[in-house]
């Protein structure tokens, strides 16, 4: 992925040697260049006449260009829609994380509970982000040694963290540190 900075746009124009597309398509481009050269040579030097049979060839290129432009527009719109959906979902995650943190901080004054949620709420967001990318690196999460051993057995690391958060909420409710109404308020 290219890290794009608006101030260095000119360098990206000249970086064709790093382009995957050019590297993949160069054999086809060379073949088409040779084919085009052959047709032009055939028309101008070997065929007698004015080449009227090739006159309408440009309309085919116009039609193909139009079809390709439509495909490109649809692909761009689809990519933007996917990006926008991801942005909305990430915004929801940020809002929900903030809300659960505020609700926990106001429902209990136990420093151990605050420390637990201070670790686990960001761990969930980070683990979810990394799970969607390349996979979660357990060492980068802020977990206790016991939690690191437990999470290693889970395929879906964010589910483990969410389960731990819900277990802690249930524990707070069952010990009486949190009322039923507070529990239901945090749970939603």
Region 162-170: what's the mean pLDDT?
90
What is the per-residue pLDDT for 19? 67
What per-residue confidence (pLDDT) applies to 188?
Answer: 53
pTM: 0.62
In tens, the pLDDT along 29-60 reads 999 999 989 988 887 777 765 666 666 777 78
CA-CA-CA-CA dihedral for 168, 98, 127, 108, to nearest 10? -20
* Closest residue by Cα to residue 133 from 167, 158, 151: 158
Instruction: Tell me what percent of the residues of the chain surpass a pLDDT of 70.
Output: 86
Closest CA to 128 of 120, 146, 113, 103: 120
**pLDDT tens per residue across span 125-158:** 999 989 888 888 888 888 888 988 888 888 899 9
Return the pLDDT at 122.
92
* 149 Cα distance to chain centroid: 29
**Rounded distance between C-alpha atoms, residue 113 and residue 76, angstroms:** 46
């Amino acid at each position: 992925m290219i890290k794009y900075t608006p101030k260095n746009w000119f360098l990206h124009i000249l970086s064709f040697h790093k382009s995957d597309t050019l590297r993949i398509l160069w054999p086809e481009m060379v073949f088409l260049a040779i084919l085009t050269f052959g047709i032009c040579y055939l028309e101008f030097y070997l065929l007698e006449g004015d080449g009227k049979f090739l006159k309408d060839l440009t309309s085919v290129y116009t039609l193909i260009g139009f079809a390709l432009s439509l495909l490109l527009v649809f692909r761009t719109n689809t990519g933007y829609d996917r990006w926008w959906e991801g942005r909305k979902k990430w915004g929801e995650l940020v809002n929900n994380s903030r809300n659960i943190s505020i609700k926990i901080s106001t429902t209990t004054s136990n420093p151990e509970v605050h420390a637990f949620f201070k670790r686990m709420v960001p761990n969930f967001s980070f683990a979810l982000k990394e799970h969607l990318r390349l996979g979660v690196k357990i060492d980068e999460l802020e977990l206790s040694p016991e939690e690191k051993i437990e999470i290693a057995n889970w395929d879906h690391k964010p589910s483990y963290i969410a389960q731990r958060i819900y277990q802690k909420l249930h524990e707070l409710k069952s010990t009486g540190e949190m009322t039923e109404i507070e529990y239901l308020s945090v749970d939603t």
